[in-house]
Structure 1
Amino acid sequence: MIPRLDDYKKKWDVASDQSIKPGLDAMREALDLLNNPEQKIAFVHIAGTNGKGSTLTFLEHISRSHGLNVGKFMSPCIYDVHDQIQINGDPISENEMDDIFVQLKNAGLSGKLTDFELLTCVAFLHFSQQEVDFVLLETGMGGREDSTNVITPIVSIITSIALEHTKFLGPTIESIASHKAGIIKQSIPVVVGRLPKEAISVIESEAFKKHAPLIELGDHFEVSIEGSFDVYKNDEKGLEIQRLLRALPGNHQADNMALAITAFFEVAEYFKLAVDLDKIRKGILESVLPGRFEEVLPNVYFDGAHNPQSAEKLVQTIKAKFPNEKVRFVVGMLADKDVGAVLRLLEKVSYEFYFVDFINDRAMTSTEILSLSRASQAASLEDPITFLKNASTNGGKTFVTGSLYLLTEIRKEIIKNKI
């Protein structure tokens, strides 16, 4: 369920299906009816298990600091459907959404698409009509059969690969890597992060088949952390960028930053831009992302650690930033995630857990998660908003984590209650 999308569907009598239906045929037919707006846009395509949003954010701010007008399409939402489609950080407006739904209705798209496919069409229409320089396009799930995979980008990025969505993407790293590799296009460069051995062989094979230049973190470029700063090195370009200061904490964000810088070189080449190292530094420093170690109230943080890999990064960051602080967790998760593994990791830094229900068809109940907990202090929580308000002044650090859908729901309540 995409918050507020149904408002527009009902208002303009445009039907779509809430289910997930991998495949591109429906998208291609719909885009033909819309006169193929995606063909009028330049893209950077981003896939990966973790790190997509952070890499996208770094690349957006680096590009904007160089004067480019940047669209972005991401999921899930932070607050509601509008913020999934942005230009230079500004969400699509209600009037703009209304105008596009009229076009969808007139084109005869009602009943032909899933919700996410419909929203992808909205994004393509909006970006083509607003004449952005290029769009940062985040896959919804996988890559090969994702609704976004109907475009040819300037550069593709694959941030990371781990087990996820196994019902749709398959039960192995290799099968998931094959789906991610689907965004690699003929002769288009692909920038990849630190991938498992089983994954990189799949990516290398696809890149070889497509004659796509493969640019690997740890091979073609590198990043190191020196005190408070990062150092980016790219031997192939004979380039070193020192004194990079990030607002996004955690060593893993250095990798995401390095992916974004490397991809920007391809963007700059496409637009024939001179790369300015100070503008890269400015973009990196200005990059912040809701739901990534985000302090929403005093001593209360949001972090969407929804799988073991992201939970491990969260634990590492907590240990580094708050080594002597008491930590408690408020957790809600989707049932199709590896909930037990996430809890085992979070239990390394806390014994105090509170589990909450949230509105999503795939959500695990708080009682079900509680039954998996091994924490010495654990309970279901009925009123998380009051709890968080009190926790902000009760000492220690409180982390709301698990599903990004949970973060969206609690964020709305915090804003509504003006906490």
Structure 2
Amino acid sequence: MIRNFERYKEKWNVESDPSIKPGLEGMKRALALLQEPHKKLQVVHVAGTNGKGSTVAFLEQIALCHGLSVGKFTSPCIVDVHDQIQVNGIPITEKEMDELFKEMMYAGISGLLTDFELLTCAAFLHFDNEKVDLVLLETGLGGLEDSTNVVTPLVSVITSIALEHTQILGNTLEEIAFHKAGIIKSGKPAMVGILPEEALSVVKEKVRSEKSPLFIYGEDFYVQQDESEEIYFNSRVPCTIEGLSRKMAGDHQKINMALAITAFLEAAKNLQIDVQMEAIRQGIEKTSLPGRFEQVFPNVYFDGAHNPASAEKLVETIKQQFPGKAIRFVVGMVKDKDIEKVLRLFESVSDEFYFVDFENPRAANAQFLQQLSRAKKKEILKDCIPFIQSNIYFDGITIVTGSLYLLSEIRNELLKEVDF
């Protein structure tokens, strides 16, 4: 479900399927009718179970601080469909979206695509129309058969690999890695974060077959913490960047930061721009991202920890940032995640939980979540907005988490009441 997307489809009589249908045939047919705008773009392609959004956010700010114009395509939405397609940090306008749908209607692509594929086509058209210098492209699901995987990128990035979407991507890390590694293209550099060994083996086989250079965090580049952070490279990338300072909390974010810097250094070779160390430092310092340990009120944080891997990172960050503080969770999740494992992780730092329903066909019932919880204090919130607002006076920390769809819905409700 893409908020406010349906009204454009109805207004311009462009049909698409709301279901998930992996495969690229529909995309190729539609893009051919649209004169293949994706082939005119300079792209960094980012896949991964977790960390895609943060890595893209770091990349965006680094590129902007170098004076580049930057297109960004991400998912899911934060407020509505418009923020999924941005140029220089500015969401696409209603007028611009109307123009894209008018173009897609006349091209005759109605009925060829799923919703996400149609939105991907709109993003490619918009970035081509705006003549951006660089496009940051985040996969929607997997990589190999994802709608974004029609591009030949300057650089491919795989942030992390864990079990997810097993009904589509497979039940093993090797199978999921096979899909993620599908974004790696012939001769084009690829870089990865910390991957499980069985997943890394699949990636290494892919880069061998594609004859692509591979950069691995912890081997080819790494971050060292002193008073500030420094990123080091081996002889393949002969430089050191000192004095890095980031707002994005958590040790996992230093890996996403390092991936973004390394990806930018590689992309810059093709973009023929002079890399400025100070611009990289400025970009890192400016980077923030809604829904990633985001403070929205005093003592209230949003974090889209929706699977065990991201829940583990959230728990680590809570321990680092708030040792000894009382923690309470407001949680809503979708049904196809490993809910019990996520709750066990959250319960390791808190014994107070509030469960909520939200509007999404995949949403798990709040009562079901409550039954799965082992917390001593666990309640169902019928209206979570007043509760969240009241938590600014709580002598502790409130974390709203579980699904980015939940955070999007709550954010929209808060927007009606405050300048959020």
TM-score, scaled to structure 1: 0.99
Q: Between Structure 1 and Structure 2, how many residues are aligned?
A: 418
Q: Is there any run of 5+ residues in structure 2 with no aligned partner, and where? A: none
Distance in 2 between the 1:71 and 1:130 partners?
A: 9
Corresponding letter in the other structure for 2:77 = C
Per-residue CA deviations over 1:252-271 (Å, capped at 9, x if unaligned) read 10000000010011121112
Give the secondary-structure state (helix, strand or coil) at the position aligned to 1:182.
Answer: helix
Post-superposition offset of 1:239: 1.5
Q: Is the contact made by 2:299 and 2:394 (CA closer than 8 Å) also made in structure 1?
A: no
Amino acid at match of 2:285: L
State the partner residue of 1:79: 79
107-116 vs 44-53, greater mean Cα deviation = 107-116
The one-letter code sitting in structure 1 at the alignment partner of 2:214 is L
Give the whole-Å Cα distance in 2 for the aligned partners of 1:7 and 1:303. 29
For the residues of structure 1 that align with 2:396 and 2:221, how far apart are their CA atoms? 39
Q: How does 1:132-211 map to 2 (within 5 A)?
A: 132-211=132-211
Q: Which stretch shows the higher mean deviation, 274-283 or 114-123? A: 274-283
1:416 aligns to what SS in structure 2?
A: helix
Distance 1:330 1:32 in 2: 46
Q: Deviations over 1:126-174 (max 9, x none)?
A: 0001100010000000000000000000000000000000000000000
Deviations 1:291-325 (A, max 9, x none): 01101112111000001111111111111111121
> Is residue 235 from structure 1 mapped to residue 234 from structure 2 by the alignment?
yes
The equivalent of 2:396 in structure 1 is 396
- Aligned residue in 1 for 2:88: 88
Match for residue 23 of structure 1?
A: 23
Q: Distance in 2 between matches of 1:33 and 1:133?
A: 24
Per-residue CA deviation, residues 13-69 of structure 1 (Å, 9 max, x unaligned), is: 111110000000000000001010101111000000000000001111111111111
Partner of 1:339: 339
Listed one character per residue, the Cα deviations across residues 356-409 of structure 1 (whole Å, up to 9, x for unaligned) are 000111110001111110000001110100111111112211110000000000
Name the counterpart of 2:251: 251
Distance 1:304 1:97 in 2: 27
Aligned to 1:324: 324
- Does 1:224 pair with 2:247? no
Task: Name the structure 1 match of 2:62.
Answer: 62
1:73 & 1:352 partners in 2: Cα distance? 36
Normalised TM-score (structure 2): 0.98
Match of 1:14 in 2: 14
Runs (4+) of structure 1 exceeding 3 A deviation are none
Q: Distance in 1 between the 2:114 and 2:240 partners?
A: 45
Rounded Cα–Cα distance in structure 2 between residues aligned with 1:47 and 1:68: 22
What SS does the corresponding residue of 2:302 show, helix, strand or coil? strand
> For 1:182 and 1:176, how far apart are their aligned partners in 2?
10
Matched residues in 1 for 2:19 and 2:339: separation?
A: 22
- The one-letter code sitting in structure 1 at the alignment partner of 2:230 is V
Task: Report what 2:305 is aligned to.
Answer: 305
- How big is the shift at 1:111? 1.3
